[in-house]
Structures are given as C-alpha cells and as structure tokens.
Amino acid sequence: MGFEDLTLYRAGGIEGILDASVERALIAMPRPSCIVRPAVIVVRAPCSDLLQLAAADSGVAAIAVVDPGDPRDSGGAGDGGPVDPRIDDVVTPRADIDELVMRGRRALLRKRALVEGPARPQVDIEGVRWREVCVHLSSTEARIAARLLRDPGVVVPDADLRALDHTGIPMTRRALDTHIYRLRRKLQPITCLTIQSVRQRGFRADLLPLH
C-alpha cells in the first residue's frame, strides 16, 4: 500500500508560513482521537504537543516546517535533517502539497517497516507472541492486551477496558490496575511494546522502533 488516501493536517502555529495554496489544502488539526489514519501532521518546529502521538503511532507521521539554515535542522531544511527525534522529516516554507504527500508516504512506510508485519506482537488464545517469545496470559489479560494492540498509540478509556472481564461484569478500577500491573510484568520480554498510563483517561499501547 502506498498510502494513497493520506490525510494532511495543519497544526497550530504554521499559519502564514506555508504557501497559501498549501494552507488551503491542509485540514485544521482536530483532537488527536479524531485523526483519520494514515495521516501526516505538519508542525512548526519545535512543536512538542503532537510529537509524542506521531512517535508512538505507525499510522501518523510528523513533518516539521523549518527555515533554511535553522540551527535546529542539523541536516538542512528539506533534506531530512532531524529537528527532534520524534519528527519524521522536515520541509522549508516553500514546500508544496506534492512534496508533503511524497515525504509523508515515505515516513509512514519507514515507520510501518519498524513496527508492523511479522515483528508486530500478535494476541491469540494462548497470550501474546512476538518473534520467538510467547507470553501466556489469563483470559482477561489477553482481552485487555488485544484491545490495546488493536489501536497502538491510541488511548483506550478505562471504561472500555473494565468491561473486558471474563465474567462479563465490569471490573473495578482497582482490579483493572492489577491486571495492567501484571500485564506490564509479563510483557517485559516483548521489548518493542510498552503500556502507558494516561492520567484520568485510560491506557495506551506504544510500539517502539526495533533496532
């Protein structure tokens, strides 16, 4: 897949930087939960608010707009030099829509190669499998892991996870915390996967780059 249906979003702070024709082609950035993937977020460097999302989600890439010669761009704006390790590519304010699409597709293909395919953790009735590792889980733990891995990088609300108890009765918040604690310990051998707590919202599975 070449990401033909790529969606381009305009983060706050780049108004007046890109050409007007490109500005009209970009969609104003919605709430992170409303992003349509595959997506590219165009930000003004540095812009840390959205970068964690792009770093953790193989379906979202971040492209930063930097001025030519900007010292934050160690590789030269438009030549792929990093501004921040969470940024996938950089462009100058002269970039047009075709360049953004091209760079966005390349970035997403690189990210997908790191975290998807055969190396991506898979959940089955026995637990979570990754490469030669198989971590055995309880039925409730497996349901929680499967739900989190269904949408990596996306926060799953507490209520959704509490409804996954094998009894069919929603578990308490304390019981959910216990399951998450056990999951984290059991999943330590799967080094590309972490489960993050998002305060007052829920939990998120992050797939880390493989080296």
Higher-confidence residue: 86 or 188? 188
**Within-domain flag for 185:** yes
pLDDT of residue 84: 66
Residue 119 is predicted with a pLDDT of 63
pLDDT in tens, 84-98: 667 778 888 888 888
Read off the CATH number of the domain in which 158 is found.
1.10.10.10
In the block, which residue shows the tokens 């949408």? Answer: 151
Is 83:46 a contact under the CB 8 Å cutoff? Answer: yes
Percent of the chain with pLDDT over 70: 77
pLDDT grade for 81, boundaries at 50, 70 and 90? very low
User: 102-149, pLDDT tens digit by residue?
Assistant: 888 877 876 765 555 546 788 887 789 888 889 999 999 999 999 998
Q: Give yes or no for a contact between 88 and 107, defined as CB atoms under 8 angstroms apart.
A: yes
Q: Please tell me the total count of domains within the chain.
A: 2
Within a domain: residue 2? no
The order of strands in the sheet holding 122-124 is 122-124, 127-130, 133-136
Count of alpha carbons within 13 Å of 36, Cβ hemisphere only?
A: 8
Q: Assess if residue 1 is contained within a domain.
A: no
How much is the mean pLDDT over the chain?
A: 79
Which tops the pLDDT comparison, 64 or 81? 64
Structural domain including 200 reads 118-207
Over pLDDT 90: what percentage of the chain? 21
Name the domain boundary from 115, 132, 165. 115
81 and 166 belong to one structural domain: no
Q: Answer whether 0.85 is exceeded by the pTM.
A: no
Mean pLDDT of the 48-65 span:
77
By C-alpha distance, which of 154, 137, 150, 112 is closest to 190?
A: 137
Residue 54 sits in the same domain as residue 40: yes
Tell me if 80 is assigned to some domain: yes
pLDDT digits (tens, 9 = 90+) for 5-32: 788 888 877 766 676 666 667 888 888 7
| 56 and 127, same domain (yes or no) | no
Residue 191 has pLDDT above 80, yes or no: yes
